[in-house]
Amino acid sequence: MLGSVFAKSLRDVRRSFAWWSLGLAGYVALIVAVYPTIRDNPDLNELVESYPDALKAFIAFGGRLDFTSAAGYLGSELFAFMIPALFLVASIGNGAGTIAGEEERGTLDLLLSAPLSRTRVAVEKLGAMCVELAGLGLVLWLALWIGARVFGMDVAARHLAAAVVVLVVLAAAYGSIAFTLAAATGRNALAVGVTVALAVAAYLVNSLASLVDALQPFRTLSPYYHYAAADPLREGLDPWHTLFLLVVGAAAASVGVVLFARRDVGT
Amino acid sequence: MARAVVRAERLSKDYAGHRGVDDLTFEVAEGEVFGYLGPNGAGKTTTIRLLLDLIRPTSGRIELFGLDVRRAGPKARGRLGYLPGDLRLYERLTPREHLRYFASLRGMSGLGDGEGLAERLELELDRPIRALSKGNRQKVGLVQALMHRPALAVFDEPTSGLDPLVQQVVYELVAEATADGRTVFVSSHVLSEVQHIAHRVALIRDGRLELVDDVESLRQRARSRVEVSFAEPPPTGAFDGLEGVREVGRNGDVVRLTLEGSADPLVKALARYEVRAIDSHEADLEEVFLELYRRPAGAR
């Protein structure tokens, strides 16, 4: 796995990928295993219904809040916050580390002395990031699919796949933003910090927009809105929302590649 | 002169906080060893990083093999081997894996000269790099820079961290490379390291080139050092005004002098005193350089 920058970048994350997979699968198993108890407790929906709107806005994923259906349960327990948070941690760390990590460790000088263009190096590293995220998505989908069958959850495999795909695309978009900030500045911590702040802001704008009218116009700018709005666990993949996220990611990545090709490295 | 492998034309790099390099123009001819000398912080590494297109000049341009590095960087770097001054390697790989990675990036199927070079440098290829000493890491860097038989090797302080025996091997490798018609650009802050392997040297100070010259003609300019022991110390100023002679210090009966050109005026002057011993040292380029360093910047 040392044949190219792409392959080496994947090799570098193979251990962390194994741990992430294990953690994700374990977490999904835990959440899914509790589902039968929740399903058989119809009072829970009434309890949730009585929550203040502010709280409901934060635990809803896409459509209506409904803990007793499989889609509603998985949406609120996994896809509304925890799973995207975990995927963003993985993608932002990877995206920022692709260039800035090597630059801070000092190995970038040697790498760029090889007969490769900067653009090529950046694109191969971004490609590796996307493959890693897709791999984590596959692990997540498998864990959900197996869990759903074992615990009798009424949710279609293709709806699970839709939610996972849009999740991976969201994570890749934030990974690309982190990559761009890191590629432009060479500073890992700055790239991670700013991207996390942007992600939190997007999450808050989307969640609070249903409560604060002033935020409504900005809601469609929030990647998180496009991630959740189409209710993929019930409705499947929405091409436009997914496309929006893909465009954000691709635009960010292109800017990053260009800025990286232009600047001085390691000074 | 043979074809220029490196051509720097009015090359400048400004930094906001610190000095870069200013208006450098030089050429390195095919097949020569070009020694790039200067004190630490003078701009040696900045020049090298400009050659590699790691940083971009504020003005001026660089050609490697006649190719503009800004436009044809990958193609030019395909024929180049680089040993960074501040070498950092992938700690989690073994030297063999490290070499294999760079060989792949260079489109090689095997390690090229890698294994042979590792053997000559007595580098173990299968211990993790994180467990290696500084000297062994430097060897990995050297093998990496030479395994593909580059037409141009750029070495930034290549022998730092190496013990004298291995340094000798490095000098041999440089000599062999040029015997094959390849070109070596080597920076150093120690003249003695370069004067035996370089054909030409450039001296950079405060970001400016002070001189570019053949080692041979520099040697001719060099002063030899003469140490004379007297029976009793001659009066102060006894050797002032003698052509090519300068008193550089005395210690009791012993007077130290430098001599440039003919020894005759000095010998005639010494004849007036009772001389116990004369000790003469071969001309040393170090003196030439120390003198250049001591002069105010820009004066020639």
pLDDT in tens, A77-120: 999 899 999 999 999 999 999 889 899 999 999 999 999 999 99
Of A4, A109, A115, the CB nearest to B54: A109
Q: Confidence band (pLDDT; 50, 70, 90) for B297?
A: low
Is some CB atom of chain B closer than 8 A to the CB atom of A116?
yes
A8 contacts chain B (CB < 8 A): yes
Chain A residues in contact with B54 by the CB 8 A cut-off are 109, 112-113, 264-266
pLDDT (average), residues A238-253? 95
Are B77 and A115 within 8 A, CB to CB? yes
Nearest-CA distance B91 → chain A (Å): 10
Residue A37 in contact with partner chain B when CB distance is under 8 A: no
Q: In this complex, do B101 and A2 lie within 8 Å of one another by their Cβ atoms?
A: yes
Task: Return d(Cα B37, Cα B52) in angstroms, integer.
Answer: 18
In this prediction, what percent of chain B has a pLDDT beyond 70?
92
| B181-209 pLDDT, tens digit each | 999 999 988 777 787 889 999 999 889 99
Flag whether residue B19 sits within 8 Å of chain A, measured between CB atoms.
no
Q: Does the interface predicted TM-score (ipTM) exceed 0.85?
A: yes
**Nearest residue on chain B to A102, alpha-carbon basis:** B90
Residue A69 has pLDDT above 90, yes or no: no
Comparing alpha-carbon positions, the chain A residue that sits nearest to B83 is: A110
Residues from chain A that touch B185, judged by Cβ atoms under 8 A, are none
Region A187-201: what's the mean pLDDT? 94
**pLDDT at residue B135 greater than cutoff 70:** yes
The answer to whether the pTM exceeds 0.90 is: no
The reply to whether A152 touches chain B by the CB within 8 Å rule is no
DSSP A263: S
**CB-CB under 8 Å, A114 with B84:** no
> Which residue from A147, A143, A182, A194 is spatially nearest to A20, judged by alpha carbons?
A143
Least-confidence region, from A4-8, A226-230, B190-194, B265-269: B190-194
Q: Does the pLDDT at position A62 exceed 80?
A: no
- pLDDT, one tens digit per residue, over B248-289 is 888 888 998 888 778 888 888 888 899 999 988 766 666 667
**Which pLDDT score, from 0 to 100, does residue B282 have?**
64
Joined tokens for residue A143: 């864990």
Q: Cα–Cα distance between A188 and A184 in angstroms, integer?
A: 10
pLDDT of residue B300: 45
What pLDDT was estimated at residue B2? 64
Distance from CA of A263 to the nearest CA of B (A): 7
A67 — pLDDT class (breaks 50, 70, 90): confident
The shortest CB-CB distance from A264 to any of B55, B80, B92 is to B55
Q: Which residues contact A83 (CB under 8 A, 6 or more apart)?
A: A140, A167
Mean pLDDT of A159-163: 95
Least confident window among A49-53, B69-73, B210-214: A49-53
Query: How far is the C-alpha of A30 from the C-alpha of A125, rounded, in Å?
Result: 33
Q: How far is CA A141 from the centre of its chain?
A: 14
CA distance B128 to chain A (A): 15
Instruction: Tell me the pLDDT band of B41, cut-offs 50, 70 and 90.
Output: confident
**DSSP assignment string, chain B:** -PPEEEEEEEEEE--SSS--EEEEEEEEETT-EEEEE--TTSSHHHHHHHHTTSS--SEEEEEETTEEHHHHHHHHHTTEEEE-SS----TTS-HHHHHHHHHHHTT-SS-TTHHHHHHHTT--SSS-GGGS-HHHHHHHHHHHHHTT--SEEEEESTTTT--HHHHHHHHHHHHHHHHTT-EEEEEES-HHHHHTT-SEEEEEETTEEEEEEEHHHHHHHPPEEEEEEESSPPPTTTTTT-TTEEEEEEETTEEEEEE-S-SHHHHHHHTTS-EEEEEEE---HHHHHHHHHHSPTT--
